[in-house]
Chains A and B, each alone.
Chain A
Amino acid sequence: MRQRPRFPGPHAYDLVCHRPPRYSSRRGPAISTATVTAPAVELTGITKRFPGVVANRDIQLRVTKGQIHAIVGENGAGKSTLMKILYGMQRPDEGEIRVEGKPVAFHTPADAIAAGIGMVHQHFMLADNLTVLENVILGSEPRRAGVAVDFRAARRKIKEISDAYGLGIRPDVPVEELGVGDRQRVEILKVLYRGARILILDEPTAVLVPHEVDELFENLRGLVREGLTILFISHKLDEVLRVADAITVIRRGTTVASVDPKDMTARRLAELMVGSELPSPETRESTVTDTVVLSVRDLTVGGVDGRAIVEGVGFDIHKGEVLGIAGVEGNGQAELVEALMGIRPCTTGSLMLDGKDISGWSTLKRREGGIGYIPEDRHRHGLLLEAPLWENRILGHQTRRPNVKGPWIDRSGARADTRRIAEDYDVRTPGIDTAAAALSGGNQQKLIVGREMSGDPVLLIASHPTRGVDVGAQAAIWDHLRNARANGLAVLLISADLDELIGLSDSLKVILRGRIVADVDPANVTPEQLGSAMTGAGEAAAQ
């Protein structure tokens, strides 16, 4: 049953020699024997709906036993929902799950564990003050004589597992003394201890530094060598290409391709993830003027550990200009936006809006000063989901007409203006007393765009303005951005959608590890070139 013999003759040097050459040669035998084995997990036609949105639609996934199967997709593409379905945390509305050929229906994660599926969460779920041993057995303690915890048996079993898979776990060390990589191994061991044969790893490398990533991949290969199956969720394409035996791409809630990493490049994978059949966001006739609206100099944002998340960033945005920031997610874009909005502490550098120094201003004052804000996560930062639409109209504009008169809420004013926004921005809703949560993502976003445009902004900060919205709403939002730009609005556009960035922006900057690493002319750049500039590979080419 094992795809990969423990000591593959021609590749025996893999086990001796460490690091670079290994992963290129490793894949060969794995793929060739894959076809003869039954799939460890097979999903057919999985669909999951939430009010107003379809999270997963007609998912097709076949995971071969004894492989590392990567699932890639942008944030919000539906990867996590899919994994929650597979782990029994959500139930699909339609479709079938088969584990090792048998159809299953999971009601709780306990069912999934019983079927041999284990999940290693992105955020570790370990009690710091307990030892590794205690953490591992927590919740499934072996008993002696029905009452006492049989630590000896547990220690033996942990040792066995750790040795079998080369995890190198010391059972009696308190977890608080372990580093991140060790903690992750403890999490993996916890899952193995409960008898999992299929492991789901949700963004396992997000918290690791490069050499820990190497160690993790080493461990993962050890696990599949022993016949385990691994589902590896990630949006880091280079890592996926290094470690995976098979890749499934998810876009907009559905599986769009199953590919062999051997014939893939990071660029082609990125294309599959982002898709290219979207309506064109093209804007070509320039409306850029000489008037600088926002001038940022030497902006630095410190992180919790004192390391800078954004470092020395500087740019100007002019009236009528859209400045796009391209970058792989997690390279400081979110922190940059929060620093501009005055939400994030530990910020240094100078911020000038219309010639006024705003670096000391509060978020409210910046908003009143003419900054509109379309936040990245509309549910967390942009809306009060349980509140009616007209109260959401007030949010962020709670000091201005037509929403308030002095200290009083102007109900009729706010309500009338909400009706206007719903009309002008085509927010499809039964009425303005409907709760924001009841609207679809696209209509929620149109409401936010309408609201932010209604404050007469001079600068609009738009973070992923069309993420997770349907094509119709996307085109409408692009239209609104174009019109506002033609009327002299300055826009800072952050997006993961490269077509959107190239099409809408008048100028583009690439951010990598918190620094601006390249200036790109959107008129002469392809998504492929931009994509490689974002990973740092094509810096020279882009400049």
Chain B
Amino acid sequence: MSERNASSSGTPGAGGTGGVGGFRDRLLGRVKLSGWLALAAPLLAVLFAALITSVVLLIAGSSPLDAFDALAQYGTQPRTMAVILNSATMYYISALAVAIGFRMNLFNIGVDGQYRLAAVVAAGVGGAALLPGVLNILLVLVVAVLVGALWAGIAGLLKVKRGVSEVIATIMLNAIATGLASWLMSNHFGVLNGNELATRPIPADSQMPGMALISGTPQLVNGFLVVAIILGIAYYVLLNRTRFGFELRATGMSEPAAVASGIGVKRMIVTTMVLSGAVAGLAGMPELLGESHKYSNNFPSGLGFDGIAIALLGRNNPVGMALGALLWSFLSNSSNSLQMLNISKETADIMKGVTVLSVIIAYELVHRYRIVAEQRRAGQETAAAPAAEGAAA
């Protein structure tokens, strides 16, 4: 009576354990952990990451305790705290963009191309100062959102109309975005200043003001922190409290069930890609409006890929991703302090990678533990009460 019960319980490739959902569902946080297990997973991950990093440091011939001490000292200085917050803001927005796709089983690898192309065009428009003051900020934001959305929308349309995997399409669009961005820079928006090709800076009255949040340092916290927090709340509300969010999650959990329920899956794919791209377009804005005020070769790169890692770290949960973004930003910024201990700064990259892997492994272990425990319980219960099943045959 139940071969279908067992085999259809997960996405394809769920393996044969008969548990709920496949590895991918668990990886993307579509299966929730409850009770003490929800706490056990991240704790396990931190311990595991610290352990591996210690081993790596020992192999490299440095003392793990000294390294962790240096990191702790670095992280508690007022100035670095402000710097960490500022880069975390960008990471967080990028992670949100990735997570929107993840919740629907769409892998938007193209956040990287989307934010860079959006930043170039927005920087060009902003530098032209078509509107005065705050209106210019709004214009820049609208342009960035539109460019990101359009660029991601191409991948969505290709998937719906031609069945092109969004993974392939967005990766290739990343490459095209790189070319398009340099063409735009050299032929339209760029101004050669000495050796540096950059867009015209955004006028001072249209720059995002910083906030003196952290005392003891002149380093201001980027005003975009507020925008990032609002986006995080909006992400939660949209996914969990609206019909659209329900349809998005339902499609992510089971496309056949969504189809049978009258959800227009194709429309959802395009809408979700566009939404993901729109948020991606904002990822470069803290830098553009709050820090450098122009797009140049020094503009942060690879934010989109950081976003993927952080979305995985935070299991697509808005609070989890915020913590993940802070941790990521801390590790990225702390590499210099490691160099002072003669530890190569690439160690910080190893730590980042190890952390992501530990989180994935820890959650998977905890999930598997839960499945086995559940199966054992179900086994005991059904064995204790075979009467109901047995009556039939």
How many chain A residues sit at the interface, stated as a range, is 35 or more
Interface 0/1 of B367-393, CB less than 8 Å to A: 000000011011100110010111111
Q: Confirm or deny: A51 has a beta carbon within 8 angstroms of a beta carbon on chain B.
A: yes
The interface bits of chain A over 360-385 (1 if a CB of B lies within 8 angstroms of the residue's CB, else 0) are 00111111100001010101111111
Interface residues of B in 249-280 (CB under 8 A from A): 249-250, 253-254, 256-257, 259-264
Q: Which residues from chain B contact A89 at a C-beta distance below 8 Å?
A: 16
The binding surface of chain A is classed by DSSP as mixed
Contact B20 A343 (CB under 8 A): no
Pick the contact of A49 from B9, B20, B375 — CB < 8 Å? B375
B166 at the interface (CB under 8 A from A): no
Among A379, A408, A435, contact of B242 (Cβ-Cβ < 8 Å) = A408
A157 to B340, CA, bound (A): 66
Measured in the bound complex, the distance between the Cα atoms of B18 and A55 in whole Å is: 11
- Would you call A383 and B261 a contact (CB within 8 A)? no
Interface check A130, CB cutoff 8 A: no
A84 to chain B: closest residue by CB: B16
Shortest CB-to-CB span from A58 to chain B, Å, is 9
Task: Indicate if the CB atoms of A50 and B378 lie closer than 8 Å.
Answer: yes
- A404 in the interface (beta carbon within 8 A): yes
Cβ contact within 8 Å between B260 and A470: no
Binds B, one of A9-17, A110-118, A389-397, A505-513: A389-397
Residue B254 contacts which of A80, A380, A399 (CB distance < 8 angstroms)? A380
Q: Is the CB of A49 within 8 A of B383?
A: yes
B6, CB-defined interface residue at 8 Å: yes
- Bound Cα distance A80, B389 (Å): 19
Contact partner of B260 among A343, A441, A472, CB < 8 A? A343
B243 to A398, Cβ gap below 8 A? Answer: yes
Residues of B contacting A324 in the complex (Cβ-Cβ under 8 angstroms): none
Complex-state Cα separation, A496 to B199, whole angstroms: 70
A253 within 8 A of partner (CB): yes
Whether, in the assembled complex, A252 has its beta carbon less than 8 Å from a beta carbon of chain B, the answer is yes
Q: B249 → chain A, closest Cβ, in Å?
A: 8
* Minimum C-beta distance from B355 to chain A (A): 26
Chain A residues near B305 (CB-CB < 8 A)? none
Distance, CA A444 to CA B244, complexed state (A): 25
Pick from B1, B19, B244, B375: contact of A441, CB under 8 Å: B1
How close is A258's CB to chain B, nearest CB, in angstroms? 15
Q: Does any Cβ of A come within 8 Å of B8's Cβ?
A: yes
- Residue among B1, B5, B388, B393 with most chain A CB within 10 A: B1
The residues in A between 397 and 448 inclusive whose CB is less than 8 angstroms from any CB of B are: 398-399, 404, 407-409, 411, 435, 437-438, 441
The answer on a CB contact under 8 Å between B262 and A363 is yes
Contact B388 A76, beta carbon cutoff 8 Å = no
Determine the distance from Cα of A373 to Cα of B3 in the docked complex, in whole angstroms.
Answer: 23
User: Is B6 in contact with A81, judged by CB distance below 8 angstroms?
Assistant: yes
B18 x A50 contact (CB < 8 A)? yes
Residue A213 at the B interface, CB < 8 A? no
Q: How far is the CB of B105 from chain A (nearest CB, A)?
A: 12
Q: Check: B201 CB closer than 8 A to any chain A CB.
A: no
Docked Cα-Cα span, A468 to B377, in Å, equals 21
Interface code B1-32, partner A: CB below 8 Å = 1, 0 otherwise? 11111111100000010111100010000111
Chain A hits for B262, CB < 8 A: 362-368, 396, 398
In the bound complex, how far is the Cα of B257 from the Cα of A395, in angstroms? Answer: 8
B163-195, CB under 8 A of A: which get 1 and which 0?
000000000000000000000000000000000
- Give the nearest-CB partner of B262 in chain A: A364
* Given A80-B3, A409-B241, A391:B246 Cβ within 8 A: yes
Contact B20 A364 (CB under 8 A): no
Q: Please tell me if A254 contacts chain B, counting CB pairs below 8 Å.
A: yes
Q: How far is the CA of A341 from the CA of B260 in the complex (A)?
A: 8
Q: Are A384 and B250 in contact (CB under 8 A)?
A: yes
CB-nearest residue of chain B to A379: B8
Q: How far is the CA of A53 from the CA of B4 in the complex (A)?
A: 11
Nearest Cβ on chain A to B161's Cβ, whole angstroms: 15
Which residues of A in the span 53-111 have a Cβ within 8 Å of any Cβ on B? 53-55, 57, 75-81, 84, 89-90, 93
Asked if residues A380 and B257 are in contact (CB atoms below 8 Å), the reply is yes
Task: Kindly report which residue of chain A lies nearest to residue B10, judged by CB atoms.
Answer: A385
User: Given A409-B242, A409-B243 in contact, is the A55-B383 Cβ separation under 8 Å?
Assistant: no
Q: Which chain A residues lie closer than 8 Å to B250 at the CB level?
A: 384, 387, 391, 395, 398
Quick check: is B247 within 8 A (CB to CB) of the other chain? yes
B2 contacts A50, CB within 8 Å? yes
Nearest CB of chain B from residue A447's CB, rounded to whole Å: 13
Q: In chain B, what residue has the closest Cβ to A468?
A: B1
Is there an interface contact between A81 and B2, defined as CB atoms closer than 8 Å? yes
Q: Which residues of A contact B242 (CB under 8 A)?
A: 407-409
Q: Give residues of chain B (302-345) contacting chain A, Cβ–Cβ below 8 Å.
A: none
Cβ contacts A to B, 29 pairs, < 8 Å: A49-B382, A50-B18, A51-B375, A57-B389, A76-B1, A76-B3, A77-B1, A77-B3, A78-B1, A81-B6, A84-B16, A90-B18, A373-B260, A379-B8, A380-B257, A383-B257, A391-B250, A396-B260, A396-B262, A398-B246, A399-B243, A407-B243, A409-B241, A409-B245, A437-B21, A441-B2, A467-B1, A470-B388, A470-B389
Further pairs besides A76-B1, A408-B242: 13, Cβ < 8 Å:
A49-B375, A50-B9, A55-B1, A55-B5, A57-B393, A76-B4, A78-B1, A252-B393, A381-B259, A387-B250, A437-B9, A470-B388, A470-B391
A-B CB proximity, top 10 nearest: A364-B262, A396-B261, A51-B378, A363-B262, A80-B3, A381-B260, A53-B2, A55-B2, A50-B18, A437-B20
